[in-house]
Amino acid sequence: MDSPNRDSYINRYRLEEKHLLHRYEEPPENYDLVNIVLISLGEKADKDRLIHLLQVLFTESHQTFDSKRNILQKEYHIEITPEMEQEMSTMCNLSLNISEEALNRGLAQGRKEGRAEGRLAGLNETALRLLSMGLSVEDVSKGTSLPLEAVEEIKKQMIEKNK
């Protein structure tokens, strides 16, 4: 059997009892009711047919529903029933919605961080201008709302640059 792709792995997790406040023991069957299986499908098609099948179903978002159905039929000889077709369509739409939501969240966070960085850069420029006009570090700090230490650092960099 071929060695698995380094981007692919399968892990199993289980709940474990830890005695934090008492020493009463419980048999695992009373609390280990959940089994979690994590399968990382990686970026590339794996030689393992099961992993490749899962990659087609779950990770290849650039493929259309029809192309996924064709792969399942031609490569895996899976006959797609109308019920399976509906479930696949739902699953494809769900994964598309999840990736779009993640993209939108990432873009919103990036815009927020960009605005914060831009605001800080503008304040730093203002502080630099005010310092070069001869205002004290304290006055610049009050005028820009920058911490005193930040204005002192800007002044130190300004002096170093002018040496």
* Euclidean distance between CA atoms 52 and 59, whole angstroms: 10
pLDDT for residue 29 is more than 70 = yes
Of the pLDDT bands very low, low, confident and very high (cuts 50, 70, 90), residue 46 is low
Q: Which of 42, 66, 61 is nearest to 99 (CA)?
A: 61
**What is the pLDDT, as a whole number, of residue 22?**
67
Tell me: pLDDT of 2 over 60.
no
Q: What is the mean pLDDT of the chain?
A: 80
Q: Which residue has the higher pLDDT, 138 or 66?
A: 138
More confident site: 43 or 121: 121
Higher pLDDT pick, 122 / 4: 122
Closest among 71, 14, 64, 9 to 38, alpha carbons compared: 9
| Spatial separation of the C-alpha atoms in residues 43 and 8, rounded to whole Å | 8
**Tokens representing residue 89 in the block:** 């369509």
Q: Quick one: pLDDT at residue 142? A: 92
Report the pLDDT averaged over residues 20-28: 75
Per-residue pLDDT, 43: 65
pTM over 0.75? The answer is: no
